[in-house]
Structure 1
Amino acid sequence: MRDIVVLLVSLSFILAALTSRFAGAIGYWWFGIFRPQDWVWGNINTLKLPLIAIVLFVIPCLIQGLWPRFRDTISKFFLVYIVLTLLTQVVSACDPIGFRAEYFQQFCILLFAVLLTIRVTDTEQRFCWLVAIVGFSLAFHAGKAGLLGMLGMGGTYYGAATMKGLFSGSNGFAFGSAVLLFFNIFVIRMAYAKNALSYLPKIVRKELTLKMIKIGGPFVCLGIIYNVITLFSRGSALAMFIGLALWFSLSKLLKFKHIILFGVAGVLVLSVVGLPDGYEARLASAFADEEELDGSAASRPHFWNIAVDMAADNPLGVGPGCYNTYYNIYDGSFGKYGFYRTVHSAHFEVLSEIGYLGLLCWILLYIVSIVKLFKIRKLAKSKVEQSDSDYFFVSAANFLIVSIIVFFIGSSFYAMAYNDIIWLLWGLTAILITQFDTYTSTANSVKKGK
């Protein structure tokens, strides 16, 4: 039965992509994050669904003349970053023993897809569609895992074969869950806002769908939170709870009564469900003396120092995906932490593989995005009479700010520089900036007309 449902949903995305470029975009992101080929009993890899998804998205766009544009600041930074990556690939790539051309190729495809997504997501309704599809694609797995863990009285998926693709492994699954949690919170927030329902897709505005989101959405989010906790990923849990506090603060919902309410609810849930065995010890190990740190916590500074040494010798970087190959050359611990290890930090990953200029571009993308999103919040909230559009833009800016910051904090502990989500978050930011500029221009024209 599950195979049939997954195949029917996949077929619906494929058929929709034949007539709509935006349907091709959300189909591409659903295939990339949900990964239907990994969640059926039979082997459907021969169908080449991911390849079909990207072909049905990219080729029709190019035929219709929908090429990437570089008019906004974020898209221009994308162009600079890909040029720096190409330069590093040509000058310093780790050949012949570990040539990683596939990293560069996949990254080019990713940025091309994000830039095309920016082109075709040209309305607020489409923005909400994209956010909902991406958010629920992972929430289906993460929320289900968390709720099943709660029903199992503190069960955990730690160490199990959880996710594949973008969020493989326990840390990756927890990290993706922590970031995409706020995609789902945004959709739930919009469903509860009567003055902004017009910005949701028509199918979502139906009474039954809204009730499902309002009732089931908070339970799914609770499951996601519990899933992150039980996956023993300390960095992801830290980023998630900082993100929740920030989101409540930006949304003006973090009042004393809410703190008491959520505190009591958290104590009740944990007292009934409990935490997995060994979780307290796992947390305590991160704050132990240097001699008593567990292998995961103790090794990270070593990996980061190696990244700094690589950048010092290779200012342009060692090449995308090449840190692992160069690791043995720079490892002064004589294999204490193993061989061909990963850097365990997106920021040090960029430093070592794309160099100092790549790191500068990487940091500027974070800064520019957050500054522009705060500017949207300020302008939208500054009006005496706020419209439905103002509410939408403030809510969208809030969730993007939080998601980007959660990614920044969480990826400090995991090598996620090539993960699709951060580039999509920056793409969504570019979309929101463009839509807000259009909205303000239209509003100003109306005022002048009056």
Structure 2
Amino acid sequence: MPIRDIVVTLAVLALLPLILRRPWIGILAWSWIGYMNPHRLAYGFAREAPFAMLIGATTLVAMLFMKEKIRFPWSRETIVLLLFVLWMCLTTVFSLQQEYSLLQLEKVVKIQVMTFITMILMLYRERLNLLVWVIVLSLGFYGVKGGIFTLMTGGGYHVMGPLGSFIGGNNELGLALIMILPLMRYLQLQRERKWQRNLFTLAMALTVIAILGTQSRGALVGLAVMAVVLIVKSRRRFTLLLLAALMVPVALTVMPESWFERMHTIQEYEEDQSAQGRINAWHFAVNLAQDRPLVGGGFEAFHWRNFRHYAPDPNDVKDAHSIYFEVLGEHGFAGLFIYLLLGFFAWRSATWVIRNTREREDLLWARDLAAMIQVSLAGYASAGAFLGLAYFDLYYHLIAMVVILRFLVRQQLQAAAEADSGAAAPAVSGRAARP
């Protein structure tokens, strides 16, 4: 019996009693399974085991009996996210591919349910930081591993994620690694010991090399945009500038000629067959949305049957390869508007956190996290323009983190304001009482 299967299964089973006692541990366990996909690294029975479903169900049951008061942080983001979920349900009713659409809706709804549960259970600073740690360690595993692999092989092979997962392909893994680099930076900023900060610097450098090693052109664009925003948004920029300066010669010396030739095709997309296939798919999405502007084609609309009616080249059937055209084709212009509105509100809320914690040293951690979430969102928005991961868990987890962060900051600012007003009241009354 494969050892890996046994280890992963025992680890999940050991977590279940802890989840029943403390349901918030279920969010950490679900994130570990969802992002690292340790069962996909096994070779036997554990590979297809429904661990995420088991953890999610246990978390829901534990919530029914927990003594902790349930609080839901209502905000514009949660309302828009709920509206987006309802809209996706509506577009599924009118889907052009009913059977496939229902299966995809089931997957997406599960992700969104756990996103809302995250907002409920993780409304504490310590839990929020633990969630960041789990996400960084889960995806950072592939960043460090992929960076070492790229250095050892001279960049001759694509860095891939675990097969059968959201990040199984090189493009998808590249996007995920771009999104966790800022979260790595956040954890680094919170470390006081130099050796710990140096470890994060090494991990970030290897993750950058892994992103290059995916040989994803979309990821390269996202990495460039994310790096600029990261330097602008981060404190202690010297380390990042030094790291960026080191990455350029590394790319020039480590990556093979074939990598440069592939990246050069970004400027010559007219002659690149893959790029032309994406453009054909984007035209398909626009044509479909114009014909069905409210509901689009529903989930799995990028199907060969639909390409015959809406694509300029009906024989060149490709996936969306863009979060924007994916949502546009599947949920229409209305769905795309809701999707973009969600990201805009999340960005604005992170800006609110940064602005309202600027003079508070006790909330420096919140300012750092809000800034790094913005960097992650910038990486997702830019790389996502060429990669089709509109329903990726991590994007919605970032939304949840922003909602939680704004809730915690507002709560602490209100407590501080009440304490200040309470301290000022006796002084005023005391002066008034003097003869």
The TM-score with structure 2 as length reference comes to 0.89
Q: CA deviation at 1:156?
A: 3.0
Structure 1 residues 131 and 359: alpha-carbon distance in aligned structure 2, compared to 1, 3 A threshold: same
Equivalent of 2:282 in 304, 309, 312: 304
What residue number does 1:285 align with? 265
Distance in structure 1 (CA, Å) of the matches to 2:157 and 2:178: 16
Separation in structure 2 between the aligned mates of residue 399 and residue 353 of structure 1, nearest angstrom: 30
Q: Which amino acid aligns with 1:440?
A: L
Change (3 A) 1:62 1:81: farther
| Alpha-carbon distance change, 331 to 31 in structure 1, aligned in 2, over 3 angstroms | same
RMSD: 2.4
1:41–1:84: structure 2 CA closer, same or farther, 3 Å change rule?
closer
Equivalent residue in structure 1 for 2:301, among 305, 310, 322: 322
State the match for 1:182 in structure 2. 182
Hey, what does 2:223 align to over in structure 1?
A: 240
Structure 1 residues 142 and 10: CA distance shift in structure 2, 3 A = farther
- After TM superposition, give the deviation of residue 151 of structure 1 in Å: 3.2
Distance 1:154 1:344, change over 3 A: closer
Q: Deviations over 1:329-360 (max 9, x none)?
A: 2123241x2x3x21111111111111121111
Q: Which residue of 2 aligns with 1:124?
A: 125
Report the more deviating stretch, 320-329 or 298-307. Answer: 320-329
Aligned letter for 2:274? S
Q: 1:394 aligns with which of 367, 381, 386?
A: 367
CA shift digits 1:218-274 (9 cap, x unpaired): 22211111111111111112212221221111124446x964x34552355346x51
Structure number with greater Rg is 2
Q: How far did 1:163 drift?
A: 4.4
What is the number of residues matched between the two proteins? 418
- Partner SS, residue 411 of structure 1: helix
Q: How does 1:221-370 map to 2 (within 5 A)?
A: 221-254=204-237, 259=241, 261-262=242-243, 264-270=245-251, 274-288=254-268, 290=270, 292=271, 294-315=272-293, 316-324=295-303, 325-335=305-315, 337=316, 339=317, 341-370=318-347
For 1:317, give the aligned amino acid. Answer: G
What is the CA–CA distance in structure 2 between the aligned matches of 1:140 and 1:83, rounded to whole Å? Answer: 35
Specify whether residues 142 and 8 from structure 1 end up closer, same or farther in structure 2 by C-alpha distance, changes over 3 A only.
Answer: farther
Task: Determine the C-alpha separation between the residues in 1 that align with 2:6 and 2:38.
Answer: 11
Further displaced range: 261-270 or 12-21: 261-270
The amino acid that maps onto 1:283 is M
**Structure 2 vs 1, CA of residues 70 and 327 (structure 1 numbering), >3 Å: closer, same or farther?**
farther
Inter-partner Cα distance in structure 2 for 1:24 and 1:249: 35
8 A contact 2:222–2:383 mirrored in 1: yes
Q: Which residue of 2 aligns with 1:57?
A: 59
Residue 202 of structure 1 is matched in structure 2 by none
**What letter is aligned with 1:113?**
M
**1:113-135 deviations in whole A, cap 9, x for unaligned?**
10011001111111110011012
5+ long unaligned stretches in structure 1 = 193-209
TM-score by length of 1: 0.86
Distance 1:248 1:264 in 2: 12
Q: Say whether the 8 Å CA contact 1:68–1:112 is kept in structure 2.
A: no
- The answer to whether the 8 A contact 2:155-2:254 is kept is yes
Which stretches in structure 2 are left out of the alignment for 5+ residues?
424-435
Cα contact 1:179–1:240 (8 A) shared by 2: no
What is residue 77 of structure 2 aligned with on the other side? 74
Give the Cα–Cα distance (whole angstroms) in 2 for the partners of residues 47 and 258 of structure 1: 41
Whole-angstrom distance in 2 between the partners of 1:64 and 1:109: 21
Please say which of residues 77-86 and 318-327 is displaced more in the overlay.
318-327
Q: Sequence identity, in percent?
A: 20
Give, as a single letter, the amino acid of the residue that structure 2 aligns with 1:305: H
For the structure 1 residues 136 and 319, does the alpha-carbon distance in structure 2 shift closer, same or farther, using more than 3 Å as the test? same
Q: Which of 379, 404, 409 is residue 356 of structure 2 equivalent to?
A: 379
Q: CA deviation at 1:161?
A: 6.9
